[in-house]
Structure 1
Amino acid sequence: MTLTRGLRRILYALAALAVVIAAVIIGAPHAARALTIHYLSTQGVTATIDAVDVNLFTGRIEYRNARGETDAGDGFEIGRLAVSIDYPPLLSKRISLSRFALEEATIDIRRTADNNLRVAGVPVTGGGSSDGGGGWGFALHRLTVDGLALHYRQPEIGDQPAIDREIVFDQSGARDLVTWQTDNTVSVDADMTVGEGRIGLEGRVVPFGDELSAQFEIETNALRLELLSPVARRGGLKTFTGRLDAEQRVDLRYRADSGLDMDVEGEAEWRDSRLALGDGVTAASRQADWSGRVTMRLMRADGEPGSIETDGRLDTADLDLQAGGSSGLEADSAHWQGSTRTTLTADGIRAGLDGTLSGQNMSLTSGSDTRLHADRFDSRGTTRIDIATAEGAPGRITTDSALDATGLDIRGPAGFSLRQPQAHWQGTSTTTFAAAGPRIETDGRLTAGESTLSASGGTRFESPGFEWQGTTATTLAAEATTVDSDGRLQAEALTLAVGDSLTIDGTNLDWQGTTHTVADGAATRIETDGTLSSADFAFRVPESGDFTADTLEWHGDFSLDMAALTARRARGRVIASEARTSIAGADLAITSQRIVFNGEYAEQPAGDTLRLSVDGDVDGHEFAVMNTAIDAAWVSMLQGYAKHLSIDGLDDIALESLETSGLRLLGDTNTDVAVLEAVTGTARRFRLTDLRHYRLADLDIADADIHLRRDGGGMGVISEFFGGGASDATGGTNGDSEGGADSDPGSTFALDHLGVSGPRIQFHDVSVTPDVALNGANINFVLENLDTGQTDNRAEYRLALDVGAYGHLDSRGEVSPMGRGGLDMEADAWLRSLALPPLSGYMNAALGRRIAGGVADGTLSIDATNGELDGNLDTTLANFRLADDGGQATEIAFGINMDTALALVRGQDDLINFETAILGDVSNPYFSIRNLVREAILAGLRTALTSDYSPVGLLNRAKNAMMDLTRSLASRPVIFVSGKHYVQSEDRLYLARLAQAMREDTSIELTVTGHAVPGDRDGMALFHGEEVDVQNALDLRELARLRGEAVRDYLAARNVNPDRITTREPVVERSEAARPRATFTISGN
């Protein structure tokens, strides 16, 4: 068959095409291998490929056993690489792969020291055209990877250590990757092995839209966190180590105009983890378990700081958080449940927490000497943490929570420490960590168990339990610890001690106010302003004394400076009940059932000692100054008010005035009786200088009862107070002072005016048998211008006193107790109607006899010059009788016994008159009961022998009898000394005869009228002014009344029934010639 030329040409062309196609099919694998090897060679990779299979019709290319290596030693080994290519039209500018498979391959990834990246030995450079490869697209419908090992290496770069990691992908893949579809969703499934760890990932990714998003689940087993170091470096981490087991669901979204948003939810377990930031912040934990959700907002395009939010539960063991070495937090275990928000700013990290936090053996440190430790810690509330990255910038922790802590131990600079086995806190706190030291500010309520606080200088605060509500600010600086507070503190009990120099104790303590405390290495200073109440309060200063009170209330400000000397200052008002102040080294204590002090008190350094100063007023109830040696009161009062007490050191103590009621002086030790008891007492202008010189302007004691007691040891309780009885009666005279003229004069006392008035005085002497008991009434004693420091000073005194039922004593004179040569004095005394039987004890002690009856009247005039006595006692005894002692006879003189002598001297008027001298010196007067009785009897004998039993005496008695028959007993008045109301000796005989007549005739009744005259005004100058005025007119009337009562009492003392004696209204006469007198009217038979 013959072919046409055209047909042959066609056949030739087809044959040529077939040859070409055959050549291409046969040579394609060889060309692909050659081109690949050539390309790798140009990149510095020496490669070999065992086999290449190319199927142009199906678009399948497969490499088997390909290997490559660079001179640096990195490269690749691929067991099988298969690619299936679709053939879209060329004009579409799209490359589409239906499948990409990589099996049993090892690829090296190396970052060089110049930060260049090489993958499989081939350099990877950034950049590229902005048109995305000229508009070409890429699609991969299925990617499978099995047995792929990626080996990443990086040398040490800067402060980053070298990295050598290998990641193996098994049975991993992706589907439906299409770059020209912006909403294309790529499915990802990966199983990676890193060393002993494993990462499993499954999810979906939308990679090519304006928003990159991904949702996947990730599971890790025993993953070493070091593999994340390259990523961590980009996030500012220096170290990220540990092992991670986790099951997480991740939702990630990224837009260039808004940043990266990522939500992670699930569980994670870290083991032996450690994280370190470039700014020195580190976190480490032996174990950390997390369950919850994490939301991250990072890479914000608008410049806003990134944030990380969490909501879940975290448990850690052996937690260690450090911030640049300046502060840190450690805990054996910690549990957190709640939400957090962390903001990453350019100048630091800010974190907010809301939930519950608990831990065991937690320690918070700041600097080298500030530490807070708790055995157990539970917190519920919100916390804000600010960590500054700039050098020197402060960090801050702010809380609003409820907190319970056990085993709390806080240590700070300058020896500060606080220990509380148990504490509960509810409120807010702000802790600022600055270079100078941390500052802690709080506002809330703190309830604590047993607490101990210590500071410099041996300062110690102890309490078994307290509650605080208010604000505090504590600064723990290297040079000092400062604490400021404003609130209320209530404590079961409290002890504040400053070494061995000061201790303050109290129970049921309640404080409300402000405090400012500064403690450094040398001292602790405390300043307060507020109110304090306490029970069982005690303020003890061993070198000065103690102050205790059952209850105490304080209103004012107080400061305490505890250094080498513990200075203190207070200004305000203190109210105390059952208060007691004792003086160190002295048998002295001051007690008060209730005391109020309003003023200032201070003890401030003056050289090497503290100087005491006080300025204020004192009001006391049941106040007493105690002699602790005998447990009795020097002075006590039911109520006392001291105005303007001023103490300027112990060498200058002054008091403007003291007003008392229920006054008692020298309280007895075994009875309820004091030496002096008075309704009121007033002292004015007191001053004590040098603890030796006392001065008092006025002392008035009204409505006083005086109790004097004498026993074998001396003057009873007075002897106990003053260390013994009176001076030895046989002691030396005043001229033998051991010290001579230049000896220390001792303490001095100056008293401008003393007035004592009262209804009663009692004297009880148990040193004799029978006891001597004398009662006095209507005391009126005045002492003027006493000054024991002035040797020539002569003080004036005046005394008026009723003695017994009808007796009376008046005395006046001058005394100089500190005369140059001894005691100087001039004194006169007048005694009327003193009952003698109560004095039987003295008679018995002197002569062995007792007094059955009798009354004494007399006058005493005594002078003392340089201690030498010169006195005279003129006495009249009426109705004097001795008790019948069973025939006992007492010899007096000349063989005459006492009974015989009394029978001789006692006449019809039953009077015994005598005088006796008082000689010797003040320490040994020549005077005794025996001498007094002897003088009385001998005087009576002389009178009887020379008068009554002599012819002259008989004639005289007969004359008197005749005269008595011719005039009435009542016709004669009793004459008194001007201004006085005592009976003179010349009238005693007359009144004795009147008493005798009234005893013999009981029908006689007597009316007595007292008279006062203008001439009495001179004598009345004893107590009032000399001019006769309205006041003196009243005094004259009172004097007249007393004269009538004096006569009545004189007769009643001589066994006349006082009911038979009537006193009329007193009469004040105006005639200058009238005599001071008392007149009588007799009625009856």
Structure 2
Amino acid sequence: MTQFGGRSVFWTRRRTIWAAVVLVATALMTAGGMWLPGWGLRYGLVRALHEVGWPRVTVFSADLSLFKGAVVVRELQAGDDLGSMLGIGGLDLRFRWKPLFSRRVSVERLNLSGVDVDVVRQGETVVVNGLPLTVSGGESTGPLWSYDVTALSLADSRIHVADGPLQAVVEVDRLDIQDLRSWEPDTPVRYALTGRINGATVAIQGTATPFATEPAFAAQVRVDGFVLAAVADVVRQAGGGALSGRLDVDAKLSGGMAAPLGASGTATWHDGGWTDGTVRFAAKQVSLALDSLRWDGDKVALAGTLGGQSIELEDGGVTTFAADSAKLAAAEAGWDGKGRKLSWRGGLHADRHRVAAPGIRIEHASLDWTGSTRFDFAAQATSFVHAEGRAEVTGAALTMGDVSLNAERVATEGMFEHARPTGMLPPLAGAMTAEAEQLALRSPGREWLTARKLDLRDIKLAPGAGASLGRLEAQELTALAQTGKDPFRPRLEARRVVLERASLAADGAMAASALTLDGARARVTRTADGILGLSAAGDGGGGAASLPKLALGRFRIGDGRVDFRDRSLAEPVSLRFDDVDVTADALDTARPDRQSPFTAKARLGVAQIAAEGRVRPFAAVPDGTLKANLKALELTQLSAYVADALGVHVQTGQLDADIAMTADQGKLAGNLNLLLSQFFIAQPDPDTPLAKSADMPVETVLDLLRDGQDRIRLSIPVGGDLSNPNFDISDAVGQAVGGALQTAVFTTLKVAFPLAGLISLVIDDAESRRLALEPLGFAPGLATLDETGHERLAAVAGLMKDHDGVTLTLCGVATQAADAPALAERQQGLVARLRQLVGKDPGAQAQMSERDRLLRLADSRAQAAKAFLAEQGGIDPGRLFVCRSRVETEETAVPRVDMVL
């Protein structure tokens, strides 16, 4: 049997319905003609309906007027013994006699009311109130009757349809059919219906040509509040899953045997839900505004808008899609009819759009797409999705684990493709441009990267070949900031960052022709735990072997600034480097043996710093060469380092330096040429490392190192290796002051003071190393200066006048070997004269004071030298000191005054 839904069955069934209507009317008239008057009509109706197959028939009243051509029936019921009854509350029929002679039934008006019909499909049979009717599309035999109905109406009626899982109750408030003429098949039949289907309000009106060779129809359909639960079982049995919600439709439909199906209008799905057990869909509302639809039985073409509110789509509990609202607008869309290609051109808008999958979540405040998309479902298709157009999102957020990427706005334009559906993977192929505003990469407590604007050009993606980028430009970039507990500001900022001709290979190798940072600002803060902002990240171990594959043609920092703070010292240090300009070429982690040339310039206050060289930064043991120059560095900025290393503070001073350094296989070799101008320190503690290394007053060392213009020149060699360099401030000064003292300092003084014949420099190693002038000799037992002593002290006075910071300590020395006999001899002469005067021998009292006499002699010699320098030489007595006198018992000791600087 032909199934419901076939087009030929549809039109054949419609013909059958109209034939049945005419048949009933004819039967009524025939019966009325055989059994007149009203009782005869009732009897005829009952008998006719019995013969049709309904044994139970009741008629409340019936009236026939042959002269008027009118039939009136009230409260007719017919049915089988067990089934439901066919009910007709009332029938009013107006007909014309004359056309009957031409085998044509002509009805002026047919009014039916209170009709109650139960239609049940059982296999290939349709049962109407227990009466089986077989629908066939075969051709009739014999002469046919024609008929026309000027006006037909059905009111206050009910039809219950049961077709397997389909249960429908059609309540007809009113059905009007006009101009139904089978003998004029091309005359349109007009119809209008108002009522309800399963409680949903229905209104249909339009025209049809059911008797035409190629039937056609046009209809305006309105349905309000149709509950989809009525067809849920039908959809489920058809494999369509579970369906729920309410449907409103306001549409225009047209079509026919020779015309494609067309439609326009709106449809709204309220509180919609659908699931097939794996995929679940729910929405507060889904609305379709159809501008046009055309279906020729094969291809589909349409234009319109599909929108939704509070949408949720879940795929097996793994991937979830949700949106507060979404709208899909199609300027044109098409389906090729073979189930392989779907094309669409238009726009997509979504508010509060969210996608979640294991380990990843994507959110947008708004999403807009304009362009064209093509889906190819064929197994041999090279691309499953091909899209061209422009997409823009606001309030974007991508979350992976505890890392989130946010942007206030992201826009991209171009083309991309998926080879086959791959879930959440990005496009496998594409060519596009993109831009983002207010971009931020964060994790709890850490702000890894932010940028006010990001612009990407010439992005290309290729299956299996990675990606390439023509140019990336970021504006107002910041990196490595910490929030929450113990916050700190970004470690790196840049006014502009430009990456050119970059690529990412399938194996993860990265390359770029140039990376430029303009207006960069780095904040480097050293603490006892390491560099702030970097120590927490760790180095990952593995040295160079753990580095990603990265090749960079040129790296440059222009107009940069470095703020350096050292909190690891007792006194914090703060340094600011301006006008930083750094360039490095040929950087490649895959070629660690490759040398990379570099240049660097910076300004520290008024100081100028410049460096250049070649390095191998990615070698297992980095090496290279360095030449650097430093001009006019204010040393007070480094006072905390000097205090930490040497225990002294810098009061004033500038440093000029030339540095030459080489590292080969980790071994250091080089030299520091230093020039210190106006270098003065605060009064040091005698226990400081510098004082101990020099073994003499620090001020004296610096005063002696200075030339006539208060400059100090030092040349310090550097050795060791990178892991333990033989170079720091304390070692350098210790070496200069200690190890090089006998050469550098002495030579400097001898050049500055050519009176070498009068002044010589010695090291007294008797007790400790001291810097001193050649001792001032005295005759045994005497404390008076001779001519040679006057000359020597005059030269010393000249030295001190040229070096205002030099002070002199005078230490008188008397000897047991030379001075004691001379004193004894003079004493004996004195005793003999006293004996003569007093007639007594002084005895033991004079012998016991010999050491005291030697100490007084030594002190008198020092005082004589001090008096000459102050009175004759013009030296401030405040710069002259007399130490405690001493007596030396060595046989080689000579009477003298030691002059210690």
TM-score by length of 2: 0.62
2:255 aligned partner: 253
Note the alpha carbon deviations across 1:689-748, whole angstroms, 9 max, x for none: 4xxx6434xx696xx8566968786799xx99xx423536499xxxxxxxxxxxxxxxxx
Distance of aligned partners of 1:102 and 1:489 in 2 relative to their CA distance in 1, 3 Å threshold = same
Question: Given the alignment of the two structures, is residue 373 of structure 1 paired with residue 382 of structure 2, yes or no?
Answer: no
Q: Secondary structure, in 3 states, of the residue corresponding to 2:46?
A: helix
Question: Which of the numbers 331, 336, 339 marks the counterpart of 2:323?
Answer: 331
Note the alpha carbon deviations across 1:408-429, whole angstroms, 9 max, x for none: 33335x6553334x32536357
What is the alpha-carbon distance in structure 2 between the residues aligned to residue 514 and residue 496 of structure 1?
Answer: 25
Note the alpha carbon deviations across 1:871-928, whole angstroms, 9 max, x for none: 99999xxxxxxxxxxxxxx995545445x42378879xx999xxxxxxxxxxxxxxx9
2:299 aligned partner: 305
Distance of aligned partners of 1:411 and 1:353 in 2 relative to their CA distance in 1, 3 Å threshold = farther
2:118 aligned partner: 108
Q: Secondary structure, in 3 states, of the residue corresponding to 2:138?
A: coil
1:657 positional shift: 5.8
Question: Which of the numbers 607, 613, 620 marks the counterpart of 1:642?
Answer: 613
1:427 aligned partner: 413
1:286 aligned partner: 284
What is the alpha-carbon distance in structure 2 between the residues aligned to residue 287 and residue 590 of structure 1?
Answer: 61
1:388 positional shift: 6.3
1:775 aligned partner: 708
Report which of the two has the higher share of helix: 2
Letter in 1 for 2:263: D
Note the alpha carbon deviations across 1:217-267, whole angstroms, 9 max, x for none: 44444444556779989998656654455655x2412234x5x322334x6
Letter in 2 for 1:308: L
What is the alpha-carbon distance in structure 2 between the residues aligned to residue 729 and residue 563 of structure 1?
Answer: 45
Question: Which of the numbers 783, 786, 790 marks the counterpart of 1:901?
Answer: 786
What is the alpha-carbon distance in structure 2 between the residues aligned to residue 451 and residue 223 of structure 1?
Answer: 48
Report which of the two has the higher share of strand: 1
Question: Given the alignment of the two structures, is residue 363 of structure 1 paired with residue 317 of structure 2, yes or no?
Answer: no
Distance of aligned partners of 1:128 and 1:528 in 2 relative to their CA distance in 1, 3 Å threshold = same
1:725 aligned partner: 691
Distance of aligned partners of 1:86 and 1:389 in 2 relative to their CA distance in 1, 3 Å threshold = farther
1:1015 aligned partner: none
Q: How many residues align?
A: 724
In 2, are the aligned partners of 1:830 and 1:859 still within 8 Å (CA)? no
Question: Which of the numbers 568, 588, 598 marks the counterpart of 1:618?
Answer: 598
What is the alpha-carbon distance in structure 1 between the residues aligned to residue 790 and residue 338 of structure 2?
Answer: 129
Question: Given the alignment of the two structures, is residue 468 of structure 1 paired with residue 455 of structure 2, yes or no?
Answer: yes
1:132 positional shift: 8.2
What is the alpha-carbon distance in structure 2 between the residues aligned to residue 705 and residue 21 of structure 1?
Answer: 138
Aligned pairs for 1:562-961 (under 5 A) are 567=547, 571-576=552-557, 577-579=560-562, 593-599=579-585, 615-622=595-602, 638-644=609-615, 648-649=619-620, 652=621, 654-656=623-625, 658=627, 660=629, 669=639, 670=650, 673-674=653-654, 677=656, 681=658, 683=660, 685-687=662-664, 689=666, 694-696=668-670, 723-727=689-693, 729=695, 765=700, 774-775=707-708, 855-857=755-757, 892-894=778-780, 896-898=782-784, 900-902=785-787
Letter in 1 for 2:516: L
Larger radius of gyration: 1
Letter in 2 for 1:105: V
Gaps of 5+ in 1: 1-19, 156-161, 476-481, 549-559, 605-610, 625-631, 732-762, 790-816, 837-853, 876-889, 913-927, 939-1085
What is the alpha-carbon distance in structure 1 between the residues aligned to residue 171 and residue 516 of structure 2?
Answer: 75
Note the alpha carbon deviations across 1:112-154, whole angstroms, 9 max, x for none: 3x46432332334332324688665443333221122001224
Bigger relative CO (Cα 8 Å, ≥ 6 apart): 2
2:499 aligned partner: 512
Residues 131-140 or 96-105, more deviating: 131-140
1:209 aligned partner: 212
Note the alpha carbon deviations across 1:640-683, whole angstroms, 9 max, x for none: 3223466745xx454346365759898985577457x46xx574
1:173 positional shift: 1.7
Note the alpha carbon deviations across 1:2-51, whole angstroms, 9 max, x for none: xxxxxxxxxxxxxxxxxx9997757776455323212215xxx6544556
What is the alpha-carbon distance in structure 1 between the residues aligned to residue 315 and residue 337 of structure 2?
Answer: 16
Gaps of 5+ in 2: 1-30, 640-649, 722-734, 797-807, 819-901
In 2, are the aligned partners of 1:462 and 1:495 still within 8 Å (CA)? yes
Q: Secondary structure, in 3 states, of the residue corresponding to 1:35?
A: helix
In 2, are the aligned partners of 1:199 and 1:221 still within 8 Å (CA)? yes
What is the alpha-carbon distance in structure 1 between the residues aligned to residue 510 and residue 61 of structure 2?
Answer: 92
What is the alpha-carbon distance in structure 2 between the residues aligned to residue 105 and residue 533 of structure 1?
Answer: 86
Distance of aligned partners of 1:85 and 1:571 in 2 relative to their CA distance in 1, 3 Å threshold = same
Distance of aligned partners of 1:452 and 1:713 in 2 relative to their CA distance in 1, 3 Å threshold = same
In 1, are the aligned partners of 2:311 and 2:325 still within 8 Å (CA)? yes
1:151 aligned partner: 160
Letter in 1 for 2:264: V
In 1, are the aligned partners of 2:370 and 2:390 still within 8 Å (CA)? yes
Question: Which of the numbers 119, 130, 141 marks the counterpart of 1:121?
Answer: 130
What is the alpha-carbon distance in structure 2 between the residues aligned to residue 416 and residue 828 of structure 1?
Answer: 62
Distance of aligned partners of 1:317 and 1:777 in 2 relative to their CA distance in 1, 3 Å threshold = closer
Note the alpha carbon deviations across 1:770-795, whole angstroms, 9 max, x for none: x99653999999999x9999xxxxxx
Question: Given the alignment of the two structures, is residue 411 of structure 1 paired with residue 399 of structure 2, yes or no?
Answer: yes
Q: What is the identity percentage for the equivalent residue pairs of Structure 1 and Structure 2? A: 14
In 1, are the aligned partners of 2:87 and 2:115 still within 8 Å (CA)? yes
Distance of aligned partners of 1:37 and 1:348 in 2 relative to their CA distance in 1, 3 Å threshold = farther
What is the alpha-carbon distance in structure 2 between the residues aligned to residue 519 and residue 584 of structure 1?
Answer: 44
In 2, are the aligned partners of 1:572 and 1:600 still within 8 Å (CA)? yes
Question: Given the alignment of the two structures, is residue 37 of structure 1 paired with residue 37 of structure 2, yes or no?
Answer: no
Note the alpha carbon deviations across 1:65-107, whole angstroms, 9 max, x for none: 3333446634422233455665678896655544443221100
Letter in 1 for 2:611: G
Question: Which of the numbers 66, 72, 76 marks the counterpart of 2:76?
Answer: 66
What is the alpha-carbon distance in structure 2 between the residues aligned to residue 788 and residue 225 of structure 1?
Answer: 86
What is the alpha-carbon distance in structure 1 between the residues aligned to residue 540 and residue 751 of structure 2?
Answer: 67
Q: Secondary structure, in 3 states, of the residue corresponding to 1:775?
A: coil
2:186 aligned partner: 183
1:484 positional shift: 7.5
TM-score by length of 1: 0.53
Residues 580-589 or 350-359, more deviating: 580-589
In 2, are the aligned partners of 1:618 and 1:645 still within 8 Å (CA)? no
1:485 positional shift: 5.8
In 2, are the aligned partners of 1:294 and 1:309 still within 8 Å (CA)? yes
Letter in 2 for 1:727: S
What is the alpha-carbon distance in structure 2 between the residues aligned to residue 327 and residue 873 of structure 1?
Answer: 91
In 1, are the aligned partners of 2:759 and 2:795 still within 8 Å (CA)? no
2:175 aligned partner: 172
Distance of aligned partners of 1:337 and 1:308 in 2 relative to their CA distance in 1, 3 Å threshold = closer
1:185 positional shift: 0.8
